[in-house]
């Protein structure tokens, strides 16, 4: 469930960036993802599951052809490191 919430957060941020850049679509997005904080504990993100979830929900947001390059990092956050429009 936490991976799904993270996938939705990522899609929302990508849509915001696309709107800011007045881009019709995003070709690819590079991300760095650490552990995700949930309440008082950190949870490891399963990258395979996250990619599956991103690909599952992107058609709803016109991002179905976007490629996701995800790198696991240390820390307790995620960030977009590059976007190709």
User: pTM of the full predicted structure?
Assistant: 0.86
For residue 51, being part of any structural domain is answered with yes
Q: How many domains does the chain have?
A: 1
Q: Which domain holds residue 77?
A: 2-27+47-84
The pLDDT of residue 69 is 95
For residue 33, being part of any structural domain is answered with no
The pLDDT of residue 23 is 86
Contact 84, 69 (CB under 8 A): no
The pLDDT of residue 44 is 83
Query: DSSP secondary structure string, 21-69?
Result: TT-S---EEEEEE--EEETTEEE---HHHHHHHHHHHGGGGT-TT-EEE
HSE (side-chain half, CA atoms, 13 Å) at 83: 18
For residue 41, being part of any structural domain is answered with no
Local confidence pLDDT in tens for the 85 residues of the chain: 578 889 999 999 999 998 998 988 899 999 999 887 666 767 788 899 999 999 998 888 778 889 999 999 988 889 999 999 8
The pLDDT of residue 36 is 77
């Amino acid at each position: 469930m936490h991976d799904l919430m993270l996938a939705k957060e990522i899609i929302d941020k990508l849509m915001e960036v696309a709107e800011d850049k007045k881009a019709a679509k995003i070709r690819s997005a590079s991300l760095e993802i650490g552990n995700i904080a949930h309440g008082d504990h950190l949870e490891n993100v399963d990258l395979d599951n996250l990619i599956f979830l991103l690909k599952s929900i992107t058609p709803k947001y016109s991002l179905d052809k976007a490629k996701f390059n995800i790198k696991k990092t240390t820390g307790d956050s995620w960030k977009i490191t590059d976007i190709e429009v």
